[in-house]
Amino acid sequence: MKTLYKEIVETNLECIIDCRICFSEMSGKESFNDCPKCCIQCADACDMLIKVITADSVFIKQYALLCAEICDYCADHCGEHEHEHCKTCAKTCRKCAEACRKIAA
C-alpha cells in the first residue's frame, strides 16, 4: 500500500506544479470558463490529499474521491483551451484523477 501512496503523492505534486504554471500563464488573460480559477482549487485539493496521506488519516479515501472530482473538473476546463500550458495541465489533472480513484477503491 505504501508504494501506491508514494505514487499518488508524486502524481499530486506533478499536478500541483502544472496547475500553478497554468494559473500563472492564464492570469490576466480572458477565459471563457473556470480556467484559471479551477487550477488553484485543484492544486489546493492535491496538496490537502498529500497532507491527509502523510498523516495516515482515516479519511484518505474520501479526500481522494474529492480530489479526483476536482482534478476532473480542472481537466475539463483547461482542456477546452488551446494554450500548451492548459493542455499540459488538463493531461496531468486526468492522470492525477485516475491515481486518486485507485487509492479510493
SS3 label, residue 56? coil
**What is the rounded distance in angstroms from the CA atom of residue 5 to the CA atom of residue 11?**
10
Domains of the chain, with CATH numbers?
2-23+33-104 (1.20.1270.360)
C-beta of residue 6 within 8 angstroms of C-beta of residue 69: no
**Residue 4's pLDDT band (cuts 50, 70, 90):** confident
Chain-centroid distance of CA 77 in Å reads: 12
Residue 49 binned pLDDT confidence (cut-offs 50, 70, 90): very high
Q: Which residue has the higher pLDDT, 58 or 34?
A: 58
The pTM assigned to this predicted structure is: 0.93
Instruction: Tell me the percentage of the chain whose pLDDT exceeds 90.
Output: 82
